[in-house]
Structure 1
């Protein structure tokens, strides 16, 4: 089974557990929206339709939040799981949000265009480290001047001991929020495909790729929001 197969299998129910499995849900996604929004609003002020590229868009949760925060954006959603993209497209159509969906892997070339924001949530960690670096090096060419990249991501601890502690805290918190044994087992099965990397490494790779103002804007144990902007 591929990563796409694993997520397609739960496309219809995937978001039901998101607020439990991401204990810092509101701040995590809220920070990603706050970082992405300024260049989108600047495009609107300049009389231009803001363009957003959502990598590993899944069911479109982050895209929907951005569209609500900055009405008038046009979204391009990329994912390798067709059932997940179908859920996203239906939700965006219901809300009248301009969008297109592209079935593609994150290792593929990025769709043509210059985007005011390239965003991703809980997807890039499925790439190995060389794959992450290669993707990050493709970002500057995809960003409009001043455009931003924002990654709301699951990350590894900088040491094995901290990584184990991240997992212990995550398990404690999701159990307190109501995740049962079945839900945790299903999450663990999907996590078998994860290849997370520490925040510091990924910020270094973004700077190496040519982004500026690279920073980690939020971090709570294994959940982090980081990125940078085009020079």
Structure 2
């Protein structure tokens, strides 16, 4: 089963489960929106329609939050899972948000054009490290000057012991929030596709790609929000 197949299988229940499987849901997604919003508001103030590229967009959860925070954005959602994109398109149409969906893998070339923000949530960790670095270079080239990249991501611990601790804490937290054995088993089955990297490595790769003001803006155990700005 491919990554796309694994997520298509849960497209109908994905968003509801996020509230449990991402224990820091509000701060995690909220920080991503806070980081992405300033250049979008600046574009509106300059009389332009802000362009947002959402990589591994899934059901459009992050795109929906961004469009609510900054009304008037135009979204391009990229994902390899058609059922997930169908859910995203339905939700965005229901809210009359300007958007298009592109079925593509994150290792593929990005859609043409320059963007005020490139965002991603819980997707890039499915790529091998070399492919992450290559994607970050493509992202940097796809931003307008002053545009921002923000990645709300599942990350690896900097040591094996910390990585094991991340998993222990995650398991305990999601159990407290109501995840049952079946939901946890299904999540772990999808996690067989995961190839997370550390925050330090990924921030280094963003700087290497040419982004400035690179930082980790939020981190709670295995969940982190980091990114940078095009000079």
Query: What TM-score, normalized by structure 2, do the two folds share?
Result: 1.00
- CA displacement 1:23-66 (0-9 Å, x = unmatched): 00000000000000000000000000000000000000000000
Q: Which residue of 2 aligns with 1:51?
A: 51
- CA displacement 1:204-227 (0-9 Å, x = unmatched): 000000000000000000000000
User: Secondary structure, in 3 states, of the residue corresponding to 2:193?
Assistant: coil
Q: Which residue of 1 aligns with 2:121?
A: 121
Runs of 4+ residues over 2 Å off in structure 1? none
Q: How far, CA to CA, are the matches of 2:16 and 2:211 in structure 1?
A: 35
User: Secondary structure, in 3 states, of the residue corresponding to 1:192?
Assistant: helix
Q: What is the CA-CA distance between 1:140 and the residue it aligns to?
A: 1.8
Q: Does 1:83 align with 2:80?
A: no
Map 1:36-75 to 2 at 5 A.
Answer: 36-75=36-75
- CA displacement 1:127-155 (0-9 Å, x = unmatched): 01001001001112100010000000000
Map 1:97-116 to 2 at 5 A.
Answer: 97-116=97-116
Q: How far, CA to CA, are the matches of 1:137 and 1:67 in structure 2?
A: 26
Q: Which residue of 1 aligns with 2:228?
A: 228
Query: What TM-score, normalized by structure 1, do the two folds share?
Result: 1.00
Q: How far, CA to CA, are the matches of 2:57 and 2:186 in structure 1?
A: 20
Q: How far, CA to CA, are the matches of 1:178 and 1:95 in structure 2?
A: 30
Q: How far, CA to CA, are the matches of 1:24 and 1:69 in structure 2?
A: 19
Q: Which residue of 1 aligns with 2:219?
A: 219
Q: Which residue of 1 aligns with 2:8?
A: 8
Q: How far, CA to CA, are the matches of 1:100 and 1:77 in structure 2?
A: 6
Q: How far, CA to CA, are the matches of 2:230 and 2:110 in structure 1?
A: 16
Q: How far, CA to CA, are the matches of 1:169 and 1:140 in structure 2?
A: 34
User: Secondary structure, in 3 states, of the residue corresponding to 2:179?
Assistant: coil
- Segments of 5+ residues of structure 2 without an aligned counterpart are none
Number of residue pairs the alignment of both structures matches: 231
Q: How far, CA to CA, are the matches of 1:119 and 1:51 in structure 2?
A: 11
Q: How far, CA to CA, are the matches of 1:62 and 1:223 in structure 2?
A: 15
- Segments of 5+ residues of structure 1 without an aligned counterpart are none
Superposition RMSD in Å: 0.4
Q: How far, CA to CA, are the matches of 1:218 and 1:143 in structure 2?
A: 22
Q: How far, CA to CA, are the matches of 2:185 and 2:13 in structure 1?
A: 15
Q: Which residue of 1 aligns with 2:23?
A: 23
